[in-house]
Amino acid sequence: MVCLTHLNMKRIYLDYNATTPVHPAVAGEMKKYIYEYFGNPSSGHWYGRKAHEGVEKAR
Q: What is the pLDDT along the chain (59 residues), one digit of tens a residue?
A: 555 566 678 888 888 888 888 999 999 989 999 999 999 999 999 999 999 999 999 88
Enter the pTM of the model.
0.59
Tell me the one-letter amino acid at 51: A
Question: Residue 7 falls within a domain, yes or no?
Answer: no
Question: Residue 3 falls within a domain, yes or no?
Answer: no
Q: Count of domains in the chain?
A: 1
**Angstrom distances, CA of residue 14 to CA of 3, 18, 21, 40:** 22, 9, 11, 31
Provide the domain limits for residue 44.
Answer: 21-59
Burial classification of residue 3, based on how many CB atoms lie within 10 Å of its CB (0-12 exposed, 13-18 middle, 19 or more buried): exposed
* Phi then psi dihedrals of residue 43, to 5 deg: -85, 155
